[in-house]
Amino acid sequence: MTAPTSQPLDVALIIGSLRRASWSRRVAHEMKALVPPTLALREVGTGELPLYNEDLEASPPAAWTAFRADVRRADGLLIVTPEYNRSMPGNLKNAIDVGSRPSGRNVFDGKPVGVASLSAGLLGGMAANHDLRKSLAVLNAMSMPQPELMLSRAATLFEGDAGAGPLAPTTREAIGKFLHALDAWMRRLIVA
């Protein structure tokens, strides 16, 4: 894997929530403003991916082909996800399944990955974060071990009534540290 040193690293941003006004989507979009200039976030959608079915590999759906190409061309990934029923959302798991197949053409192989999770509760999506890391480890993706970003009480991550305002300063600080660490993690793993 190589990346030109004079250009920002291309980071595929995958958002685990499909809802337009989700906390995960809001946090992910705020990350675009906080990312170091050495990284360029490019959103890669998962909502249009048909459920993985090996029978379709004879003539893969166009959405699968596009998703695989988008992830393959990225220098690394940033995944921002909520927690559903103590795990990752179904669309995110499906995207991992689509990208990991067919056998021998796993688009996640060797990719550095930052995993961020959040929830309305106190644990910050910890179960989703760890389940996602477990799946990525099997695919030889290189999840950044530290710092972990698990944001709890999603409604308090933003200022204003019901979280309608900008990111709270403590949230901005935590996300900024995480994104700078992701930049360093990616540069450690990518041969320039």
* Residue 153 burial (CB count, 10 A): 14
**Choice between 3 and 43, residue whose per-residue pLDDT is larger:** 43
Element housing 164 (H / E): none
Q: Is the pLDDT of residue 1 over 60?
A: no
Q: What is the pLDDT of residue 107?
A: 98
Q: What is the pLDDT of residue 164?
A: 78
- Say if CB 13 and CB 45 are below 8 A apart: no
* 169 cis-preceded (ω within 30 degrees of 0): no
**Helices (H), strands (E): how many in the chain?**
5, 6
Rounded Cα gap, residues 13 and 78, in angstroms: 5
Element housing 137 (H / E): helix 126-138
What long-range pairs does 134-138 form, CB within 8 A, spacing at least 24? 135/88, 135/93, 135/96, 136/96, 136/108
The predicted-structure confidence for 86-133, as pLDDT tens digits, reads as follows 999 999 999 999 999 999 999 999 999 999 999 999 999 999 999 999
**Confidence tier at 3 by pLDDT (50, 70, 90):** low
Q: What is the pLDDT of residue 170?
A: 95
The predicted-structure confidence for 140-179, as pLDDT tens digits, reads as follows 999 999 999 999 999 899 998 767 789 999 999 999 999 9
Going along the chain from its start, the domains and CATH numbers come out as 9-189 (3.40.50.360)
Instruction: Specify the pTM.
Output: 0.94
